[in-house]
């Protein structure tokens, strides 16, 4: 990771933060409906891991906290915002919403809202990659609480049994909705839980993007070299509640302060300033530029886009004009 | 035309589709080395290898999800769930992922998986191995549900299901795998929608599917010979979507309807067909439609109780006689 990469990643992470915070405002203004799960505080995880992989080429799948993973894979942020605004121009044409961002063109295979649901889907994508003989891998990002689902165990077992090219990234933010990990989970260190499946694993500081990148590089290389699955646990923290409907009253101010002192963006920014690669003024200018882009380009696009047509309510339920439904196209 | 068994028809469809497309795979418990509990995949492991004929761990939700994930990239998995009772465990992935992914991605992704599984009550298998679950599957938007009543349909429906771009659930039956029937030696594809008039009649329509088609054919014979009633038997091989036009057409002809299902009456095929009749052709009816269904109980182990819980041809005859006051 050279200086130019670090500067670009600083901008990408700051963009992610501002994007999510703007979603928060739009939700409060009731421009965004449904449930909204924000990624603020966890930016170094998605950015560090995907920087070490090949986004747009490798397949990525995740949970309902999915906006930033999609954008890092190459999804147009305007389309992601338009999806949150439930518009026809949205990435899922307004049919999915915040929890179901998809961008198949960039191999972002979706956000799924059943906790633990993507575990087997990721293994299946990896099975297809292996059958087709490509050099892609599948990267599955999920939270720590997903590891208490049966799909975690079932999928890790099959991924190792068949040596599938899948990297499971556990974003351990210490809470499953509003329950602290030590109150829901017998083994706190998640990377230890996969040893029962003979899958190599590691735990890393998820707030320091340079550390994430280094650990992810090792993980990606392992999987891409045909050695089967890998499990990477990243210790992180979300600043907002589980979703917007979460009062966030279950966490102490001390704990929140401790984590905000290890903010992934501030840490990288200060490092670049100390090394003389950027100035405080550069950072401020970059922030303003991002805020303008979000307002003038992204929000404007979402606001001005049309809604889906009600007469297309049933479209996308089943395939259209599939000849095999009628006994074949021969 | 050759007479082959239901399981042989399913095996032949697997074999042809796997030969036709290298991305067709099959997966499930005991389907590979062991050849399948009902022999539906016999010999395929030796022919196509372990990468394409996959013995899975006993993890129904997990391997169904693996099949669905693979289908996102164009792989066409045929997933066998050994007994439909175990499909409860796979409902999360089948309903939440396969059925909804096309819609919630705005048409970007599709899950062309086939899940096949035997339902029905067999020989004293007890409450947890005797479920009839077609009613559950047919209520979920984004899925197709078909249910073959003979080897010809078993072959042709699986062939079309593999090639169709929608997720398809095929409801088979534990007692039907050894049933023999004519299947063309030529390759063919059976439609996944519609219904089939299996026996023509003018006095009453017996709507049936899967094993209940056979009860109805037997009942129709008795009704004709002993009571002079000519029953039409309509085979609803497609349960989702149901053939509204075909159901209405037969009722317009006979003006009477009996729906025969192996499942419990609540929220089932019978209630759905009745609703369709009400919506499509209520004023054509000469009598209130009637359901012949199973008792609303977990299936008992005791043979006499088990028999009492499931309808048969005699129950169909009685229902029609009551309708005609004979």
A8: Cβ contacts below 8 Å, ≥ 6 apart: none
Count, residues in chain A: 330
Are the beta carbons of B9 and B155 closer than 8 angstroms?
yes
Residues of A in contact with B69 (CB under 8 A): 61, 120-128
Q: Is B129 in the active site?
A: yes
List the single residue in A93, A158, A328 with the smallest CB-CB distance to B106.
A93
Between chain A and chain B, the number of residue pairs with CB atoms below 8 A apart is 181
pLDDT in tens, B104-120: 999 999 999 999 999 99
**Average pLDDT, rounded, for chain B:** 97
Q: Given a cut of 60, is residue A330 above it in pLDDT?
A: no
| B102 vs A: CB within 8 A | yes
Q: What is the DSSP letter of A58?
A: B
The Cα-based distances of A110 to A70, A97, A262, A326, B97 in angstroms read 8, 11, 29, 31, 11
Q: Given a cut of 80, is residue B153 above it in pLDDT?
A: yes
**pLDDT at residue A210, rounded to an integer:** 98
Q: State the pLDDT confidence band at B182, using cuts at 50, 70 and 90.
A: very high
Distance between the two ends of chain A, CA-based, in angstroms? 55
Dihedral pair phi/psi, residue A176, rounded to 5°: -105, 105
Are the beta carbons of A36 and A55 closer than 8 angstroms?
no
pLDDT in tens, A200-218: 999 999 999 999 999 999 9
Q: Residues 241 to 270 of B: which have CB under 8 A from any A CB? A: none
**pLDDT at residue A87, rounded to an integer:** 98
Domains and CATH numbers, chain A: 3-326 (3.40.50.970)
Site from B27, B90, B97, B108 to mutate, A interface, most A CB atoms within 10 angstroms: B108
List the single residue in B142, B156, B160 with the smallest CB-CB distance to A317.
B142
List the single residue in A59, A121, A131 with the smallest CB-CB distance to B97.
A121
Are the beta carbons of B267 and B135 closer than 8 angstroms?
yes
Angle at B304 between CA B298 and CA B307, to 5 degrees: 65
B113 vs chain A: nearest CA distance in angstroms? 12
Per-residue pLDDT averaged across B75-96, rounded? 97
Of the candidates A216, A149, A145, the residue with the CA atom closest to the CA atom of residue A180: A145
**pLDDT at residue B300, rounded to an integer:** 97
**pLDDT at residue A300, rounded to an integer:** 98
B143 vs chain A: nearest CA distance in angstroms? 8
Q: Given a cut of 90, is residue A117 above it in pLDDT?
A: yes
* Number of alpha helices (DSSP H) and beta strands (DSSP E) in chain B: 13, 14
CATH of B196-324, one of 3.40.50.920, 3.40.50.300, 3.30.365.10, 3.10.350.10: 3.40.50.920
**pLDDT at residue B326, rounded to an integer:** 87
Secondary structure of residue A294 in the 3-state scheme: helix
Using the beta-carbon criterion (under 8 Å), do A328 and B96 form an inter-chain contact? no
Q: Does domain B2-183 have CATH number 3.40.50.970?
A: yes
**pLDDT at residue A329, rounded to an integer:** 61
Q: State the pLDDT confidence band at A246, using cuts at 50, 70 and 90.
A: confident
* Number of alpha helices (DSSP H) and beta strands (DSSP E) in chain A: 13, 8
Are the beta carbons of A102 and A109 closer than 8 angstroms?
yes
Q: Given a cut of 70, is residue B292 above it in pLDDT?
A: yes
* Stated pTM of the model: 0.97
**pLDDT at residue A242, rounded to an integer:** 85
Question: How many whole angstroms separate alpha carbon A325 and alpha carbon B181?
Answer: 23
Choosing from B8, B17, B29, B60, which is the catalytic residue?
A: B60
Using the beta-carbon criterion (under 8 Å), do B189 and A315 form an inter-chain contact? no
**pLDDT at residue B185, rounded to an integer:** 96
Q: Residues 71 to 90 of B: which have CB under 8 A from any A CB? A: 71-75
Are the beta carbons of B320 and B219 closer than 8 angstroms?
yes
Are the beta carbons of B196 and B234 closer than 8 angstroms?
yes
The Cα-based distances of A59 to A135, A146, A225, A291, B109 in angstroms read 11, 20, 16, 30, 13
Q: Is B284 in the active site?
A: no
Task: Please tell me if the domain spanning B2-183 has the same topology as the one spanning B196-324.
Answer: yes
Order across the sheet with B204-208: list the strands.
B196-199, B231-235, B204-208, B257-260, B290-292
Of the candidates A141, A111, A127, the residue with the CA atom closest to the CA atom of residue A50: A141
User: What chain B residue is nearest to A128 in terms of C-alpha separation?
Assistant: B70
ipTM: 0.97
Domain boundaries, chain B: 2-183, 196-324
Using the beta-carbon criterion (under 8 Å), do A317 and B65 form an inter-chain contact? no
**Average pLDDT, rounded, for chain A:** 96
Q: Given a cut of 60, is residue B6 above it in pLDDT?
A: yes
């Amino acid at each position: 990771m050279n200086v130019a990469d670090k500067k670009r990643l600083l901008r990408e992470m700051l963009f992610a933060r501002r994007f999510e915070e703007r979603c928060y405002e739009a939700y409060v203004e009731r421009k965004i409906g449904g449930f909204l799960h924000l990624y603020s505080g966890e930016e170094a995880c998605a950015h560090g891991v995907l920087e070490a992989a090949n986004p747009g080429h490798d397949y990525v799948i995740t949970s309902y906290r999915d906006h930033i993973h999609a954008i890092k894979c190459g999804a147009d942020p305007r389309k992601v915002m338009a999806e949150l605004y439930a518009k026809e121009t949205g990435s899922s044409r307004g049919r999915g919403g915040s929890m179901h961002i998809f961008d198949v063109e960039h191999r972002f295979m979706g956000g799924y809202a059943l906790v633990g649901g993507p575990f087997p889907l990721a293994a299946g994508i990896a099975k297809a990659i292996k059958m087709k003989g490509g050099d892609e891998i599948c990267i599955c990002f999920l939270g720590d609480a997903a590891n208490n689902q049966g799909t975690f165990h079932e999928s890790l077992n099959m991924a190792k049994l068949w040596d599938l090219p899948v990297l499971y990234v556990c974003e351990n933010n210490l809470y499953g909705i509003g329950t602290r990990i030590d109150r829901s989970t017998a083994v706190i260190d998640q990377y230890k839980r996969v040893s029962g499946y003979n899958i190599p694993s590691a735990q890393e500081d998820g707030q320091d993007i340079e550390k994430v990148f280094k650990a992810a590089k090792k993980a990606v290389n392992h999987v891409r070299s045909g050695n089967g699955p890998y499990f990477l646990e990243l210790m992180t923290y979300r600043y907002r509640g589980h979703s917007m409907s979460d009062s966030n009253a279950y966490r102490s101010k001390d704990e929140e302060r401790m984590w905000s002192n290890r903010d992934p963006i501030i840490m990288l920014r200060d490092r670049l300033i100390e090394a003389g690669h950027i100035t405080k003024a550069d950072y401020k200018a970059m922030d303003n530029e991002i805020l303008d882009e979000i307002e003038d380009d992204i929000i404007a696009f979402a606001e001005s886009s049309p809604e889906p047509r009600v007469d297309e309510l049933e479209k996308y339920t089943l395939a259209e004009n599939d000849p095999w439904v009628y006994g074949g196209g021969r | 035309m050759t007479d082959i068994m239901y399981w042989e028809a399913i095996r032949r469809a697997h074999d042809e589709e796997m030969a036709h497309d290298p991305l067709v795979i099959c997966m499930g418990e005991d389907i590979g080395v062991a050849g399948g509990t009902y022999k539906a995949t016999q010999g395929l492991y030796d022919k196509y290898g372990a990468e394409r004929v996959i013995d899975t761990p006993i993890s129904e939700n997990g391997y169904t999800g693996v099949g669905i994930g693979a289908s996102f990239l164009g792989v066409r998995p045929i997933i066998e769930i050994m007994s439909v009772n175990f499909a409860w465990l796979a409902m999360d992935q089948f309903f939440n992922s396969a059925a909804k992914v096309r819609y919630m991605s705005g048409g970007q992704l599709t899950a062309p998986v086939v899940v096949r599984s035997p339902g029905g009550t067999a020989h004293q298998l007890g409450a947890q191995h005797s479920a009839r679950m077609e009613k559950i599957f047919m209520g979920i938007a984004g899925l197709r549900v078909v249910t073959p009543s003979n080897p010809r349909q078993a072959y042709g429906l699986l062939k079309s299901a593999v090639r169709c771009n929608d997720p398809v659930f095929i409801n088979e039956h534990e007692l039907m795998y050894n049933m023999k029937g004519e299947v063309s030696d030529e390759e063919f594809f059976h439609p996944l929608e519609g219904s089939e008039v299996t026996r023509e009649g003018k006095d009453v329509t017996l709507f049936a599917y899967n094993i209940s088609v056979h009860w109805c054919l037997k009942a129709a014979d008795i009704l004709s010979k002993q009571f002079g009633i000519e029953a039409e038997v309509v085979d609803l091989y497609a349960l989702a979507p149901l053939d509204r036009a075909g159901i209405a057409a037969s009722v317009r002809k006979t003006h009477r309807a009996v729906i025969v299902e192996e499942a419990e009456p609540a929220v089932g095929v019978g209630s759905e067909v009745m609703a369709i009749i009400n919506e499509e052709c209520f004023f054509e009816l000469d009598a209130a439609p009637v359901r012949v269904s199973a008792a609303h109980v977990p299936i008992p182990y005791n043979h006499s109780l088990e028999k009492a819980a499931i309808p048969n041809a005699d129950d169909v005859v009685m229902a029609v006689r009551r309708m005609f006051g004979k």
